[in-house]
Structure 1
Amino acid sequence: MSFRKRGVVVPQSGSTNSSSPPPGSANKPTQTQAPPGTRPSPLDGRLTTSTGTRSLDSLLAGHSGLALGNSLLIEESGTTDFGGTLLKYYVAEGVVQKHVVHVLGVPEGWGRELPGLGLDDDDGRRKKKAADEDKMKIAWRYERLGEFGAGVGGARDRNVPQVTSATTSAPVFCHDFDLSKRLILPSPSNMHFVTLSVQPNLSFKDPDTSVSPFTKFIQHLAAQLSNTPPTTIHRVAIPSLLSPALYPSYASNPSHILQFLHGLRALLRKYPTQLTTLITIPLSLHPRTTGLTRWIELLSDGVLELAPFPASAVVIKPSGAATEHEEPPQGMLKIHRLPIFHEKGGGGGENSGSGDDMAFNLSRRKGMVIKPYSLPPVEADGEAQQGGLEGDDGKKATKVDLEF
């Protein structure tokens, strides 16, 4: 009886190669890679994409991004255009990630005003820090283990590919943009500017109010989604919905606008892994007390309201070493509704910060930063507390007297 090494399969008669893969192994499904600009949600694993603003991504029900197949409505009161800036960040992120972007109601010149990419200093510093942290996870005595022994061990592991750090090759989910720069659109561009279904009336006749101005956009969007691969991500941007500067007066007819939002919502549900939508609406023209605005909110998955501070308000900079370099907030943000994706609430109130008063600030390099709002300390209170301490002789106590 001859001895045989353990773990070696004995070839049977008629077999060609013992190392050939078993039948049917080539038909096993392989793990597919997520489309560019998307990543799984930390809650339930569904694909999410970035809105172009990191602080806004962190508010969206704990999913760290806008889940595909959902819409977000941004309402804004006053004459400012912070919502339009958020919309440009959303579109610029889609252009950089090579997504297909569809813009409704504005000319092509609007796309030439997108913010450009910021400096790479912060990005490079962040990558270096992540690489150093990944390097420190490996014990120092095992770091050079692959270089030990150029003889048998080196010859044995010569054909084994080296594992590189995943942090250096991971794609960027959300980019940094600079408002003072302009984004250079690629040629050919994946941006589509769709005008309204309104032709100029040269005969000075009354327009036909029975024709919806949104029909052309729904038809364009349905054709684009059906003719692209299922891995292509589409972004829909609708700036200043129902603004009289862009839309005719009869566009606010409920039979037109609500039917359009129903059709857009149907496309979001039909393509839950390809389409996202971001809409802005001016509350000064369509306040939340009207029934039409409430219906628009009900047909949106998430609703946020921006309330900028008036320009005449006196801005008091907070004192203290920890807050002296922070810029004062420019307005308040109110969360009316966030997308709820499952029975657990999708990370709801505690993780999203919806129970706190949120404020926002817009800067050139940092973009829009949304964080909890807190009142600055009042300097008069500190002086009153120090002046209220008096000694036995009626004199004010000094710092030396308070020390033990």
Structure 2
Amino acid sequence: MQNPGVRPSLSTSQPTTSTGSSDLDKILSHQGLPLGNSLLIEESGTTDFASVLLRAFAAQGIMHNRITANANAKELHSHVIVLGMAPQWANDLPGLYKGSSKEQKKAKIAENESKVSVSNIAHGSNLPRGDQKMKIAWRYGLNAKDMEKENDAGEMNAAYEHYSHQFDLTSKLQPGPNPQEISFVPISDTVSAIIKQLKNIVQAQLRSNPLKTVRLVIPGFLNPSIYPPQLTAPTFAFPLIHSLRSLLRQFENNLVMVSSLALDLYPRQSNLTGVLESLFDSSIHLQPFNQEMSQWIERAYKNEPAKIQQGLVDIIKIPVLSERGLMMVHTGEFAFKNGRKRFEIEEWGIPVEVDSKEEAHDNGEKSQTTKNIDF
């Protein structure tokens, strides 16, 4: 736990690292992905929402290296390996979310108030945080136990303040990752050649820092635009996943893996996808809404565009817990929306579309009736 990017799982106390999406961390039931485990992100349709999660997963690893400025190789806490993609893939990693204009102004005010000055001392803004809270509690008669609970939660978040970051999907990570933070491994003709390259990189990274986490990212697994035709057959895919699974178990205290799979190419009913789901430690299914459903949701939330969701998230398998026999399948319970601040996952509820007549009545407009209302 000396690595700032690692914290105990809420379910099993295993060392766990963030996926780069706090909502995805929650639905995995561990507040992240346990070390030595893998996640398969399946997606239906022609959209590419899975790439957003994969890039956030990679960007989270890069941010764990930037907790301290000018960190050398021995101080790096994480390394990212991307399989099958060109180095240009890293150019689209999301940058940190700096908050809205109001939040940025509040942050500036808080920073100025934290500085030692005559006016700040006079107003007591430089008192310790706990003393300030107790002063507020005394003034407004708040319960001391409630204040203690708030302090405990704040201390817990402060202990893992660098564990998870919020990313702005409309911006790019600046500065971009350097070769010490990210490696790219091309697709080779044989499984043994791929595994050998991956193993050499992992071992080299752990020699500089045995506590380092290594994130393996596999975008578009078995996609014909990335993999040659002879490498999309089950005779190549199954040995590769078996070998990757063995690599995860070999470096169970350092290595995690996330991959994406297009279900339009490999449907869930196929034997290949079924075997992949059994070999990966966890898997989720992104199911974007069709055009008719999307239009209906837009009408229902026409006055609240921030609530518009893009699809459903089905939980197929949870790390560790599913292998222990717990029934963790959840379908139709969560929905996702790709917002500006982050990729959000929330509980799914069918929106209520307000009828135009009812809306007009609520706005105070007069409605006509043909019924006799005489008594």
Same fold (TM over 0.5): yes
**Identity percentage of aligned residues:** 32
Q: Are 1:49 and 2:39 an aligned pair?
A: no
Q: Are 1:104 and 2:72 an aligned pair?
A: no
Q: Are 1:379 and 2:357 an aligned pair?
A: no
Q: 2:334 aligns with which of 358, 365, 370?
A: 358
Q: 2:279 aligns with which of 295, 299, 303?
A: 299
* Structure 2 counterpart of 1:191: 182
SS at match of 1:314: helix
Offset from partner CA, 1:215-262 (integer Å, 9 cap, x none): 332112212333314301000000001111110111122221111111
8 Å contact from structure 1 (residues 68, 275) kept in 2:
yes
* Structure 2 counterpart of 1:220: 197
Instruction: Give the deviation of 1:95 after TM superposition.
Output: 1.0
Instruction: Give the deviation of 1:320 after TM superposition.
Output: 8.4
Q: Which has the larger radius of gyration?
A: 1
Structure 1 pair 394/35, CA: closer, same or farther in 2 (3 Å)?
Answer: same
Q: 1:135 aligns with which of 130, 136, 140?
A: 130
Q: 1:177 aligns with which of 163, 167, 170?
A: 167
Q: What amino acid maps onto 1:96 in structure 2?
A: M
Long gaps (5+) in structure 1: 1-32, 144-163, 199-211, 387-392, 398-404
Instruction: Give the deviation of 1:135 after TM superposition.
Output: 2.2
Instruction: Give the deviation of 1:114 after TM superposition.
Output: 0.8
* Structure 1 counterpart of 2:97: 118
Offset from partner CA, 1:98-129 (integer Å, 9 cap, x none): 3111101110011111111121565996997x
Instruction: Give the deviation of 1:336 after TM superposition.
Output: 1.2
Instruction: Give the deviation of 1:303 after TM superposition.
Output: 1.2
* Structure 2 counterpart of 1:368: 343
Q: What amino acid maps onto 1:86 in structure 2?
A: L
8 Å contact from structure 2 (residues 297, 309) kept in 1:
no
Instruction: Give the deviation of 1:136 after TM superposition.
Output: 6.4
CA distance in 2, matches of 1:343, 1:110: 33
8 Å contact from structure 2 (residues 84, 185) kept in 1:
yes
Map 1:149-168 onto structure 2 (within 5 A): none
Q: What amino acid maps onto 1:379 in structure 2?
A: V
8 Å contact from structure 2 (residues 301, 308) kept in 1:
no
CA distance in 2, matches of 1:95, 1:73: 21
8 Å contact from structure 2 (residues 311, 337) kept in 1:
yes
* Structure 2 counterpart of 1:316: 297
CA distance in 2, matches of 1:78, 1:265: 28
CA distance in 2, matches of 1:302, 1:170: 24
8 Å contact from structure 2 (residues 314, 332) kept in 1:
no
Instruction: Give the deviation of 1:379 after TM superposition.
Output: 2.3
* Structure 2 counterpart of 1:328: 308
SS at match of 2:346: strand
8 Å contact from structure 1 (residues 359, 371) kept in 2:
yes
After TM superposition, the score normalised by the length of structure 1 is 0.68
* Structure 2 counterpart of 1:82: 49
Q: Which moved more, 1:268-277 or 1:101-110?
A: 268-277
After TM superposition, the score normalised by the length of structure 2 is 0.73
Q: Name the structure where helix makes up a greater proportion of residues.
A: 2
Instruction: Give the deviation of 1:372 after TM superposition.
Output: 1.4
Q: 2:247 aligns with which of 256, 267, 278?
A: 267
User: How large is the Cα RMSD of the aligned pairs?
Assistant: 3.8
